[in-house]
Structures are given as structure tokens and as C-alpha cells.
């Protein structure tokens, strides 16, 4: 019971951190408003543009504390790094899940469950990358380059590009070279690998 209460406090603390970052509610509101507007013009492709907000939120959840070295304070309060990481993930899910569902539900022509699942999972991938990068700019540049530059270019020349995390996950809300089940499993595998690396690096590396 004591450990459960302690973990609950970690999650609440992470939620408070997100709520007090002005850019977080702004990003959520802009994404929820803009994605439905885009859907009127480009249908399901609105999710491609809407994912920017979730990539940003994932990076903010993980990397903001490194910008001012506040991570040291967090680690002093929560010495168990994996518990702190888990708290960040749950706080992210608490913010991202309703935001993704609302954005998808308001977007005409967008499958709600598939699009929401994709947005949450791709943002979670960004969170894992940011925990390793420990830099807002570096992490955001990495995930944006992967999703909006490398992935489209590789998709033009390599069939194997269908197994990149964003392209595999995209079949959750639109037709693609993989089935929805296969694409979901591939994205899940990317997440499992990313968090295995993230957990190992975060547990061992100095703050």
C-alpha cells in the first residue's frame, strides 16, 4: 500500500509538471482545434499533421527537466529511476489519451480508435527518444526528421520502410502495405525496443 501511494504521488507530481508548463495546454488546444479543421480538407491525412502536437508533447514530457537541470531535483525526490520513468509515461498517457480521442472524434473521416491509438503511441515513442537524447531541441529534431523527412524519402525507394514506426503505425487509421494488426505489432515492437534502451540508459547514466 505504501509503495502504491508513493507511486501515485510520483504520477501526480509529473501531471503537475505538465500542467504548469504553458506550452503543454497550448499544444493540446492547438492540436485538438487544428486537426479537425485539416480533416475537412485532407481527410485522414490530418492525422499526419496532428501528430506534430503529440510528438512535441512526448518530447516535453521527457526532456523539459533537462533544460534547466531540474532532473536532479526529481531524482533526489524519486531515487528509483524506473519508477520516475513509469510516472512520466503514465502522466503522458493521462494527458495524451483524451486529447487524441477528442482530436480524432472531432475530425470528419478519421477513424477515432485507430487514429487516437496511433497518436498516443507515436508520441510515446517521442518520449522514449527524448529520455535518451536529454535535449528538447535534439529530441524534437530527431523525431521530426525521422517522421517527416527520412520516412517519406525511404518510403519512395525501400519496401522495408513500411516497417518504420510511423509508417507501420499509420495503418491503424488508413490502408497501407501492412495489415492493421501487423502494423500495430510492429509499432509495439519499436516501442518495446525504445523503452528497453531508454530504461537501461536512464537507470545507469548520470543526471
Is residue 166 a contact partner of residue 146, using CB atoms and an 8 Å limit?
yes
What are the distances in angstroms from CA 147 to CA 25, 32, 71, 122, 184? 23, 20, 28, 10, 17
Quote the pLDDT of residue 44. 84
Quote the pLDDT of residue 2. 55
Quote the pLDDT of residue 126. 96
Task: Report the mean per-residue pLDDT for the chain.
Answer: 91
Quote the pLDDT of residue 207. 58
Boundaries of every domain in the chain: 2-204
Q: Is pTM beyond 0.85 here?
A: yes
The residues, any chain, with a CB within 8 Å of residue 92's CB and separated by 6 or more, are 18, 57, 58, 61, 123, 124, 127
pLDDT one digit per residue (tens) for the chain, 207 residues: 556 778 889 999 999 989 888 899 999 999 999 999 999 888 888 999 999 999 999 999 888 888 766 888 888 888 888 999 999 999 999 999 999 999 999 999 999 999 999 999 999 999 999 999 888 899 999 999 999 999 999 999 999 999 999 999 999 999 999 999 999 999 999 999 999 999 999 888 765
Amino acid at each position: 500500500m505504501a509503495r502504491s501511494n508513493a507511486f501515485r504521488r510520483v504520477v501526480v507530481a509529473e501531471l503537475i509538471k505538465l500542467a504548469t508548463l504553458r506550452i503543454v495546454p497550448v499544444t493540446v488546444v492547438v492540436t485538438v482545434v487544428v486537426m479537425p479543421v485539416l480533416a475537412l480538407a485532407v481527410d485522414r491525412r490530418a492525422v499526419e499533421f496532428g501528430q506534430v502536437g503529440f510528438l512535441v508533447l512526448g518530447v516535453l514530457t521527457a526532456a523539459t527537466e533537462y533544460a534547466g537541470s531540474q532532473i536532479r531535483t526529481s531524482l533526489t525526490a524519486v531515487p528509483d529511476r524506473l519508477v520516475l520513468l513509469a510516472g512520466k509515461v503514465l502522466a503522458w498517457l493521462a494527458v495524451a489519451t483524451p486529447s487524441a480521442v477528442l482530436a480524432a472524434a472531432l475530425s470528419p473521416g478519421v477513424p477515432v480508435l485507430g487514429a487516437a491509438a496511433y497518436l498516443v503511441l507515436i508520441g510515446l515513442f517521442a518520449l522514449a527518444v527524448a529520455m535518451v537524447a536529454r535535449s528538447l531541441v535534439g529530441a524534437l529534431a530527431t523525431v521530426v526528421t525521422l517522421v517527416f523527412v527520412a520516412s517519406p524519402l525511404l518510403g519512395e525507394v525501400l519496401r522495408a520502410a513500411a516497417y518504420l514506426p510511423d509508417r507501420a503505425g499509420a495503418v491503424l487509421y488508413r490502408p497501407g502495405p501492412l495489415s492493421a494488426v501487423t502494423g500495430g505489432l510492429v509499432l509495439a515492437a519499436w516501442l518495446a525496443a525504445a523503452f528497453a534502451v531508454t530504461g537501461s540508459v536512464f537507470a545507469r547514466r548520470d543526471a
